[in-house]
Amino acid sequence: MKTPPRKWLALALCALTATAALAAEVTVQAGETLPKIAQRTLGDPAAASELKALNQLASDQVPAGTVLQLPGSERSLAVSAISAARNAVKQAGADSPRREEASRQLAEAEALLKEARYAQAADAADGAWKLVSERAGEKTQFTVEVDKQGKTEVRTSAGQPVRVEAQGKVQPVPVGEVVTVAKGEAPRRLVERPPKVPDTLATLEAPQPLSPPEKHQLKLQPRKNGTLGPVNLSWRAVPGATGYEVEVTPQGGKPLQLKVEKPTARITTLPPGSYGWTVRALGEGIRSERSGPRSFQLASDGLKLEVKGTQWK
């Protein structure tokens, strides 16, 4: 014998392992019908017809102890192809010119599957899929990366979305997106941190008040109604500002707001009293912080000089 005994032992062990993995046969248990066997072995009672065809049986009733042949991997390919074709036909518009032909081929594929003619079923399903799928001919590219902790990261760079399954949940990964999965957890779409939105209050510098000086007392001639004015406020122009919002608040009163385009504001009349005021710069959808508070006093100039006319020349 050319082959050493050790080698034969290895072969035998491998053969046993491989036979177990193939699970190409199943023994019928007492009281089992074909649908039950199909459910137990293929996960689908409707696959009874396949077992029937594959084993050339005349009836669904099979005596206990009978050894039945099970389909191989070609069945899962056929089932996948039919599933894809079903979805593609369902999604094809009713006005799709090829839908009718695709439906016919799909029905043919389903019939071939029931007869356990898996290769032909897969071919027919592929034909149906190609007829109505807009995706035919595309290349799909993706990467899978596993770190030392077993965490998986999946990226799709071209073509159609790939699908990540974990813990009974499914997460599609369209082009440009990333999905991560930690061990024992469901897939998680990794949201790329968006670029930090600039702080709207910081993009425009707060204006710096110029006039009137802080706590300045303005003495103005009163009008007939007792009010005083005009009061002119000014501040340093802010680069990028398209306008300004001024708020003038009488002591113990409600603030008065006005908007201006230039770095000055003219308030025609105000009652005498103490006032605080602030100003902020306005831009396209943004605004600055308010300036530091400033105050002024508005008082009536009591020395009203009324010079009467004289006859002296």
Least CB distance to other proteins at residue 254 (A):
58
Residue 73 CA: distances (Å) to CA of 26, 29, 56, 127, 289: 16, 24, 20, 20, 69
Question: Which residues 127-146 are close enough to bind other proteins by CB under 8 A?
Answer: 129-130, 133, 135-146
Site for other proteins in 3-22 (CB under 8 A): 7, 10-15, 17-19, 21-22
Q: Does 210 bind other proteins (CB under 8 A)?
A: no
Choose which of 53, 57, 111, 166 interacts with other proteins (CB under 8 A): 166
Q: Does the bond joining 230 to the residue before it have cis omega, within 30 degrees of 0?
A: yes
Q: Collect all residues with Cβ–Cβ distance below 8 Å to 58 and sequence separation of at least 6.
A: none
23 binds other proteins (CB under 8 A): yes
Which residues are CB-contacts of 66 (< 8 A; sequence separation ≥ 6)? Answer: 27, 28
Does residue 175 bind other proteins (CB under 8 A)? no
Q: Which of 138, 144, 178 is nearest to 158 (CA)?
A: 138
The Cα 55–Cα 223 span in angstroms is: 112
Q: Which residue in 75, 76, 106 sits closest to 89, CA to CA?
A: 106
In this chain, which stretch among 28-36, 60-68, 152-160, 261-269 interacts with other proteins, using CB under 8 A?
152-160
CB of 199 to other proteins, least distance (A): 38
Is residue 27 part of the contact set for other proteins (CB under 8 A)?
no
Question: Closer CB to other proteins, residue 51 or residue 246?
Answer: 51
- Confirm or reject binding of residue 202 to other proteins (CB under 8 A): no
Q: Report yes or no: 245 and 236 within 8 Å, Cβ to Cβ.
A: no
The residue assigned the tokens 């006093």 is: 297
- Residue numbers of the site for other proteins (CB under 8 A)? 7, 10-15, 17-19, 21-24, 40-43, 72-73, 75-77, 80-81, 83-84, 87-88, 91, 126, 129-130, 133, 135-148, 150-152, 154, 159-166, 172, 181-185, 187
